[in-house]
Structure 1
Amino acid sequence: MARRNRMPPWHEHIRLRNGRELLIRPIRPEDAGPMRAAFSLLEPEEVRQRFLHPLKELDATLLYQLTHPDPRREFALVAAEPLPPGEALVGAVARICIDANGKDAEFAILVSHYINGMGLGRHLMRRLVRWAKGRKVQRIYGHVLESNLPMQTLAASLGFHREPTLEPGLVRMVLELPPAATQTATNGDTPRD
């Protein structure tokens, strides 16, 4: 019987439309240094859209939280150069965290302007949805700036609906995952948009 080289769970190589190859994989503690370096390459608006307020740098506490997700309730993927963790420049991060109620989970995605517009955000969101379904989450939500129309459009195309929030300038994008949910939001493995 021939042995196949299999990638570890949640690892996949993808090629973007511009030909750039990336490795999507779970975040690792070794990603802290490259993430700090990549953060300095982000535009202020990218940071504001992800963190919902201006942020000049990722401090040690935040970096630790980002790179050490609690496996019982958090999941985070990076899209990075196909190099070992700690050496690979990280171009995108997607996270989801299950709330204390065990039924809802909050997502957040950041795709650098160097690789956005190539379907990577959609691809990462599908992976977060797949993980959440596996954890029997019933509802996924994310807070998005009203001005972040690309994220709202992406979420809506995957079945999310928009809910108002009490915070001015923010909307909540919500995806209901009924127990017998179909795999509609997770079909497709290759970034297309």
Structure 2
Amino acid sequence: MAIRNQLPPWHEKMHLANGREVLIRPVRPEDATILRATFPLFEPQSVAKTFQSSDAELGVDDAARLAQPDPKNEFVLVATEPYEPGEAMIFAMVRGKTEEGSDEAEFHVLVGRNVLNLGLGRHLLSRLSRWTKGRGISRMVGDLPQENSPILDHADSLGFQRQSESEESGLVRVVLDGGASAEAEAPR
């Protein structure tokens, strides 16, 4: 009988459009230092909106908070090299957060400039949709890069509605009402 190589929940391997293999998994406390080191590679507009700052650096406290999300109301996945947490470069991350007692989530997708337009942002957005469905979240709100039409089109296919564009920020506000889409499949 063959033994299957199974990954833990919320872990999966993915091949990007350029052939590079990445591991998508929940963020770990060991990732804080690597998050700080790879943070300058993330898209500047998304960083500014996510952290209400134009700093290209992620502070020690912010990195520690991101690497240790509160499981009651926060979900953070990272796309990394297929190495151990704390050793693998982080290419992208998606974060969903609810306020206690709320059925609305705010989300952020950060993708490194070195892996833009390879399908990673779209894939992470699908995983976030799966998380919201499992949590019974009825409304999800976030901002996506205006120039990234593939992720905006994917958001449209998941049922998101575009609410507003901001020329100065370069971001489009998208909202998903009524829960996540049918694309939200069971964990692998």
TM-score (norm 2): 0.84
Letter of the 1:139 counterpart: R
Task: Report Cα offsets for 1:67-89 as digits up to 9, x if no partner.
Answer: 11001111100000000000000
What CA distance in whole angstroms lies between the structure 1 residues aligned with 2:51 and 2:147?
A: 12
Cα deviation, residue 3, structure 1: 3.6
Instruction: Check the 8 A contact 1:46/1:112 in 2, yes or no.
Output: no
**What are the residue-to-residue correspondences of 1:82-121 with 2, within 5 Å?**
82-121=82-121
The residue number in structure 1 matching 2:156 is 156
CA change 1:39–1:182 in 2 (3 A) is: closer
Q: How many residues align?
A: 184
Contact between 1:126 and 1:186, CA under 8 Å: does it hold in 2? yes
Tell me by how many angstroms 1:149 deviates.
5.1
Give 1:46-65 correspondences, 5 Å limit.
47-48=47-48, 50-51=50-51, 53-65=53-65
- Once residues 182 and 173 of structure 1 are traced to their aligned partners in structure 2, the CA distance between those partners, rounded to angstroms, is 14
Match of 1:177 in 2: 178
- For 2:130, the aligned partner's letter is R
Q: Which runs of 5+ in 1 are unaligned?
A: none
1:21: which partner in 2? 21
TM-score (norm 1): 0.82
Q: Aligned equivalents of 2:15 and 2:132: distance in 1?
A: 25
Write the deviation string for residues 154-190 of structure 1: whole angstroms up to 9, x where unpaired: 422322112249xx85653101135xx651x336x9x
Distance in 2, Cα, partners of 1:42 & 1:143: 15
- CA shift in 2, pair 1:80/1:182, >3 Å: closer
Q: Contact 1:143/1:173 (CA < 8 Å) preserved in 2?
A: yes
Q: Distance in 2 between matches of 1:102 and 1:129?
A: 17
What amino acid maps onto 1:111 in structure 2? V
- Report the Cα distance in structure 2 between the residues aligned to 1:43 and 1:182, rounded to whole angstroms: 26
Q: Matches of 1:22 and 1:64 in 2, distance apart?
A: 22
* Backbone CA RMSD of aligned residues: 2.8
Amino acid at match of 2:92: A
Q: Name the CA shift for 1:141/1:44 in 2 (closer, same or farther; >3 Å).
A: closer
What CA deviation, in whole Å up to 9, does each residue of 1:89-140 have, x standing for no partner? 0000101011234310111000111111111111100100101100111111
2:46 paired with 1:35: no
Unaligned runs of 5+ in 2: none
Q: Aligned AA for 1:24?
A: I
